[in-house]
Amino acid sequence: MRTVSLMTANQEFSRLVKEVERGEGFVITRRGRPIAKLVPHTADKTADPEWAAAYGRMMARLDEGVSLGGLRAERAELYDR
């Protein structure tokens, strides 16, 4: 991730956005201190029905707990310390 000054980012914003579209990211600095990031947008995976279904199956499995040969370990019990 490259670093650019706020002044440069302001003057060359269109060029920076084109580079971000190609996957590049930038840290924008003011007086040498980072103040912002300009990075490509990533899609929200929670909106993907396949991901949501897999997540639901995982959470159901965690809520069921696991049998350990007569002993039962449930998710809530693991964190009740």
pLDDT, tens digit (0-9, with 9 covering 90-100), for 14-73: 999 999 999 999 999 999 999 999 999 887 777 788 989 999 999 998 888 777 777 766
Model confidence band, residue 76 (pLDDT cutoffs 50, 70, 90): confident
Residue 28: which CATH number?
Answer: 3.40.1620.10
pTM > 0.85: yes or no = no
Please state the separation of Cα 76 from the chain's center in Å: 26
The answer to whether 27 and 3 have CB atoms below 8 angstroms apart is yes
The token duo for 44 is 């929200």
Predicted pLDDT at 47: 79
Residue 81 has pLDDT above 60, yes or no: no
Question: Range of 58's domain?
Answer: 45-78
- Answer yes or no: do 32 and 51 share one domain: no
- Answer yes or no: do 54 and 70 share one domain: yes
